[in-house]
Amino acid sequence: MNSPGRYSTPAVLLHWLVALLIFVAFPLGVYMHELPLSPDKLKLYSYHKWIGITVLMLMGIRIAWRLTHTPPPLPRDLASWQKRLGALVHGLLYVLMIAIPLSGWLMSSAKGFPTVWFGVLPLPDLVAKNRELGDLLTEVHEILNFVLLASIILHVIGALQHHFIERRPFLQRMAWGGKENA
């Protein structure tokens, strides 16, 4: 049967905040790296890095919250392959949302550009300057991002499919208002 529950308000807030940040940082990353060197390019790189580190920090909170709060139950009649696929995509998204900003931070360190969050909080360099490692991490960062894009597409298709094609009230799980899962 249909589950009327939804995720707790902090979980919903964190989900959409991280979604918004990814929605900004992803195209920014694609756009900025092709630009010729200019002050604007340096600014965009900094904004991208600040957003990425913010996502990493929010993910710390998200994971802590997720581990201490039970999500609303899935509809009981959902096919088990759908449950498994959903869990797999969610797991992958969590891994990527940690691995991507981390790979960006590492790559920045390897290229000899420390990260100073919002120009205020200097983060430690996790690796020493190393051109080859920097180039390798750039590849890793890029590949992970395309896996992320594919995972997000699957995630969105899954949610919309449950809601509109299977006609289960599904989108309210990640919305405000309505009954929260206790």
Partner 1 sequence: MKHNLTLAALLAALAAPAVHAIEYATVVPKQSSIGFEFRQMGVPIKGGFKRFVTDMRFDPEKPEAARARIEIDLASIDAGSPEADEESAGKLWFNRSTYPKAVFVASQVRAIGNNRYEMRGTLTLKGKSREMAIPVTYQPGKNNAAAFDGGFILKRLDFGIGEGMWADVATVANEVKVNFRIAATGN
**Residue 38 within binding range of partner 1, rule CB under 8 A:** yes
Contact set for partner 1, span 110-129 (CB under 8 A): 111-116, 119-120
Nearer to partner 1, 119 or 177 (CB): 119
Among 17, 32, 45, 98, binds partner 1 (CB under 8 A): 45
Report angle CA 131, 128, 114 to the nearest 5 degrees. 90
Beta strands in 95-165 (DSSP E): 116-117, 121-122
* 68 interacts with partner 1 by CB under 8 A: no
Binding track, positions 71-100, relative to partner 1; x by CB under 8 A: ------------------------------
- Token pair belonging to 152: 């997000």
Q: Which is nearer to partner 1, 39 or 177 (CB)?
A: 39
- Nearest approach in angstroms of CB 169 to partner 1 is 46
Nearer to partner 1, 77 or 132 (CB): 132
- Site membership for partner 1, residue 65 (CB under 8 A): no
CA distance 2 to 138: 44
Q: What is the DSSP letter of 1?
A: -
146: which 2 tokens? 């395309």
Angle of helix 9-32 relative to helix 39-68, nearest 10 degrees, comes to 150
Binding-site member from 20, 24, 42, 171 for partner 1 (CB under 8 A): 42
Residues whose CB falls within 8 Å of the CB of residue 79, separated by 6 or more in sequence, listed in order: none
Beta carbons of 19 and 159 less than 8 angstroms apart: no
Contacting residues toward partner 1, per CB under 8 A: 37-39, 42-43, 45-46, 111-116, 119-120
